[in-house]
Amino acid sequence: MTPLITPDELLLLYKNDDVILVDVSNSSDAFENYKRSHLEKAVFVDVNKDLATVGDPKFGGRHPLPSIKHFLKAISNIGISERSHVVIYDNHCGANAAARLWWMLRAIGHTKVQVLDGGFQNAIAKGFPTTDHINKSTPSKDYESSGWNLPFVTIDAVRKAIHEKSHLLIDVREKQRYDGITEPIDLVAGHIPTAVNIPFRSNLDEAGNFRKPEDLRDLYRNMIGDKKSPEVIVYCGSGVTACHTLLAFEVAGLPVPNLYVGSWSEWSRNHPPSPG
């Protein structure tokens, strides 16, 4: 199954019983926006409650992974089972936070999962029906999985990686945040030492859809060179938008590299940049 699905493709199958359509748009008023308008049949997932265990950002960042038990309960509550075909979208071209849920489902071994290319806005433009009806999910039998099976790293691994020439850190945030010019969310601006900046928008074309696989392959092969996926670490502000680049690797047909879940929100609280 390809990692992306177009609105036209989704229109042909979204009413199938096995399809679970998920709105995982992330903002302070995400659920209010969902209640006003969402794609027909979509259920809502809360990033902070369902896809993270929010605590002190110094220990794990702003969106640390929840326990496996917590996540499995969350997806079972919205009807996802091992047989489900899950389609995920958000209102930010997959970056906030459709790709995070995609990564988490893939990490527990769920292969029938796709991200809606172009997200909510693209679907509306293509004539996908919307509604303000709040869908009541029928919980599935508890999903079973033994743990996270895609690679991710802790702050200790990043501390070692910045001293290893064999490793590459990719910061997917906007250039102004990477350059330390502005920081709208975390306490200080800057980036992890040795990291290179490839903003997640580099994965998208002008219409907000993912670029062609061959274009993404060229982009990341040129950057990573002969490095293997275990030597590549991707981060953002809190481990959400970084998953957009992990998805881009998948679209490109490249091995998915490591996610640094804590990202800048954890690193900057433990290693604040030096003045000047």
Backbone angle region of 254, left / alpha / beta, with phi > 0 → left and psi within -120 to 50 → alpha: beta
- Tell me if 241 sits within 8 A of 214, measured CB to CB: no
Total Cβ atoms within 10 A of residue 275: 4
Q: Please choose, from the candidates 91, 87, 69, 195, the residue with its C-alpha nearest in 3D space to the C-alpha of residue 142.
A: 69
Measured CA to CA in angstroms, residue 239 lies from 114, 144, 175, 252, 272 at distances of: 19, 24, 17, 20, 18
Residue 125: asked if its preceding bond is cis (omega within 30°), the reply is: no
Is there a contact between 139 and 73 (Cβ–Cβ < 8 Å)? no
Structure-block tokens of residue 10: 């989704």
| Residue 93 annotated in active site | no
Query: Which residue in the list 75, 98, 155, 236 is annotated as catalytic?
Result: 236
- Positions marked active-site: 236
